[in-house]
Amino acid sequence: MGIITLVVFPIPTFIALYFLEGTMPLEIFQVENATAYPIIVGLALGVFYAVLALFFMQTKVFEKLPSRIEQVVKDMNLSILDCIFLSICAGVGEELLFRSGVQYYLGPIITSIIFVAIHGYLNPWNWRMSLYGLIVLPFILLISYGFQSFGLWFSIAAHFSYDLVLFIIISESWKRNKSIAY
């Protein structure tokens, strides 16, 4: 799934921006913005928000959440390298699709809502999952607006570090036979 996210997800962005806007695929990567400052700020934001989300997710309201993410992560039996790889794939692939592609046409707010909904976190039949979606939505909005100010690499770094913290904490806690909410 990681390879599909990394390789396939960006394709619609490359096609749409090339044929509709005349943007070359290499331009979409915004190599000029791959500098330390936006990457460090993105990494810090992702780590901070992952810790914040973990804090909220340990409240009683989320105990009865069906198909909890920690069970999915546990079933994958991820190593640290797996956590890093999947976080890179999601950070790069999804940010190219959503921030560089979808957001170009729909703007940050609608794109953020779509992003959270596609991940299943805005579920009208599961209020607890929707509550988690409302916790994650401000982070995705920050990534979206940060993309406008700092560029793609900020968004990739924030997404990568958020996923990495969650993957590592959840997978390591399961390996130690501890339960932790996402």
Query: Reduced to 3 states, what is the DSSP secondary structure of residue 1?
Result: coil
Phi/psi at 141 (5° precision): -65, -40
Query: Which residue, chain included where needed, has tokens 């990394």?
Result: 6
Amino acid at 28: I
> Do the domain assignments include residue 80?
yes
CB atoms near residue 11 (< 10 Å): 14
> Do the domain assignments include residue 77?
yes
Q: Provide DSSP, 46-114.
A: HHHHHHHHHHHHTSGGGTT-TT-HHHHHHHHT--HHHHHHHHHHHHHHHHIIIIIIIHHHHHHHHHHHH
> Do the domain assignments include residue 86?
yes
> Do the domain assignments include residue 30?
no
Domain encompassing residue 64: 2-24+35-175
Encode pLDDT of 98-119 as tens digits: 999 999 999 999 999 999 999 9
> Do the domain assignments include residue 181?
no
**pTM (two decimals):** 0.92
> Do the domain assignments include residue 156?
yes
At 140, list the tokens. 């995705």
At 154, list the tokens. 């900020």
What's the pLDDT score for residue 66? 59
In this predicted structure, the answer to whether residue 182 has a pLDDT above a threshold of 50 is no
- Number of domains the chain contains: 1
Encode pLDDT of 41-85 as tens digits: 999 999 999 999 989 888 888 877 755 566 777 788 889 999 999
Encode pLDDT of 153-169 as tens digits: 999 999 999 999 999 99
Encode pLDDT of 13-50 as tens digits: 999 999 999 999 999 999 998 999 999 999 999 999 99
> Do the domain assignments include residue 59?
yes
DSSP 40: H
